[in-house]
Homo-oligomer: A and B are copies of this chain.
């Protein structure tokens, strides 16, 4: 097949006619497929079905002898803090263990900053008119919604293959009302990019006008590799240490959870922070709650006692996910690559494939897919306020559907993307 750019109007009209017959074939199938959200599949969830087995005879005690069934130990079980510290390459003292949702920890951290400020703030962030937040794009819609809800102006920053465009970031943070930044540094949502050591270093070192600038560092997928080969696995530095070494010790809050390891929304989440942030935050957290679910922490540490167990468990997830990603990418290679109207990254981990269709056609492509019974995340969702200036990015979530469903859905997607592109090209 030819690139559409090289086709004459006549050839494009022929191609359009062909695609329209495909569309009618799809329509006749009465499809009902959902590629919208990054949900684990039932098979993946079943990997953790035995999470609570034997708990009744376990004694419900920490190694140090504390009764996990009762109040106390508000920062989390020592064993759980140790586990996450090893995961993130930091020390257990930096880990506060929450409940199942790391998004909740992020929201609460921002609420604290809005109402109380940070330990190094001049005043509560709620009192800063025109406060702004940097949003690498495309990015995670639920991140953006948190800062939008809390009254920040969202400033998009282009995300490149090695992380956010640091030249632009370093310029933007000269504004004292720019207070922080979202990031999913390993297998970014949705592109699957991994921040390079250089970008991490620049983020740690950069001079910000706001003394209390914060990076929200979401390790959502940092152990969610598709391939066993370590050279194909994203790696991150210990960002807490990097920031400390750069003289900005309080700059970063790290987050992680087991939502896509054990049970979605019912796992363990953590926030990692340096000593000053920890002291300041726990003064509020210890008023907010009597403590988080230690029984669940206890069950998790029995089920996944160390990083080796975690790695072995993640390999089982990868065995389900890898064929789904490869199928998605293979079909796009087959159906979409030659046309030259779309581009995408081939991620090595995470939960998404991010496709940039022909500019100005993402909304139309998603709408056409929907008409044919195939649901994708709404176009624009990966941008602040749901507005993609190029109307180009579409997030594909291949984790949940079955292989046959993915095959059909991505075929439909490819045909729709090509058809809307042709319409656009012919219009011009």
**Interface residues of A, Cβ cutoff 8 Å to B:** 37, 39-40, 42, 45, 48-53, 55-56, 60, 67-71, 99-101, 103-104, 107-108, 111, 114-115, 126, 142, 145-146, 149-150, 259, 263-266, 284, 287-296, 299
**What is the bound-complex CA distance between A288 and B40, given in angstroms?**
21
Contacts of A55 in B (CB 8 A): 49, 51-53
Q: A111-B115, A287-B107, A288-B108 are in contact. Are A296 and B294 (CB under 8 A)?
A: no
Do A290 and B265 touch across chains, with their CB atoms under 8 A apart?
A: yes
Do A101 and B292 touch across chains, with their CB atoms under 8 A apart?
A: yes
Q: List 28 A-B contacts (CB under 8 A).
A: A37-B71, A39-B71, A45-B70, A49-B55, A51-B55, A51-B56, A52-B52, A69-B264, A99-B100, A99-B293, A100-B290, A100-B291, A101-B291, A107-B289, A111-B111, A111-B115, A115-B126, A142-B290, A146-B288, A263-B295, A264-B290, A265-B292, A265-B293, A265-B294, A266-B293, A266-B294, A266-B296, A293-B296
- Closest Cβ of chain B: how far from A323's Cβ, in Å? 20
Do A99 and B292 touch across chains, with their CB atoms under 8 A apart?
A: yes
State which of B42, B45, B56, B265 has its C-beta within 8 Å of the C-beta of A291. B265
Do A266 and B287 touch across chains, with their CB atoms under 8 A apart?
A: no
**What is the bound-complex CA distance between A141 and B55, given in angstroms?**
33
Q: A71-B265, A115-B115, A288-B108 are in contact. Are A56 and B56 (CB under 8 A)?
A: no
Q: A108-B288, A115-B150, A290-B103 are in contact. Are A42 and B56 (CB under 8 A)?
A: no
Most interface-central of A100, A103, A108 (chain B CB within 10 A): A100
Do B266 and A69 touch across chains, with their CB atoms under 8 A apart?
A: yes
Residue of B nearest to A53 (CB): B56
Do B296 and A107 touch across chains, with their CB atoms under 8 A apart?
A: no
Report the copy number of this chain in the oligomer. Answer: 2
**What is the bound-complex CA distance between A108 and B288, given in angstroms?**
8
Contacts of A287 in B (CB 8 A): 107, 142, 145-146, 149
**What is the bound-complex CA distance between A48 and B71, given in angstroms?**
15
Contacts of A265 in B (CB 8 A): 70-71, 290-294
Do B67 and A56 touch across chains, with their CB atoms under 8 A apart?
A: no
Contacts of A48 in B (CB 8 A): 69
Contacts of A293 in B (CB 8 A): 99-100, 265-266, 293, 296
Contacts of A56 in B (CB 8 A): 49-53
**What is the bound-complex CA distance between A37 and B72, given in angstroms?**
11
**What is the bound-complex CA distance between A266 and B51, given in angstroms?**
16
Q: A104-B288, A115-B126, A142-B290 are in contact. Are A45 and B69 (CB under 8 A)?
A: yes
Contacts of A288 in B (CB 8 A): 103-104, 107-108, 146
**What is the bound-complex CA distance between A207 and B395, given in angstroms?**
53
Contacts of A289 in B (CB 8 A): 101, 103-104, 107
- Closest Cβ of chain B: how far from A397's Cβ, in Å? 11
- Closest Cβ of chain B: how far from A84's Cβ, in Å? 18
Contacts of A52 in B (CB 8 A): 52, 55-56, 299
Contacts of A296 in B (CB 8 A): 266, 293, 296
Do A42 and B67 touch across chains, with their CB atoms under 8 A apart?
A: yes
Do B69 and A263 touch across chains, with their CB atoms under 8 A apart?
A: yes
Contacts of A99 in B (CB 8 A): 99-100, 292-293
Residue of B nearest to A284 (CB): B149
- Closest Cβ of chain B: how far from A336's Cβ, in Å? 29
- Closest Cβ of chain B: how far from A151's Cβ, in Å? 8
State which of B264, B290, B295 has its C-beta within 8 Å of the C-beta of A104. B290
Residue of B nearest to A257 (CB): B290
Contacts of A126 in B (CB 8 A): 115, 126
Contacts of A149 in B (CB 8 A): 284, 287
- Closest Cβ of chain B: how far from A228's Cβ, in Å? 25
**What is the bound-complex CA distance between A50 and B264, given in angstroms?**
23
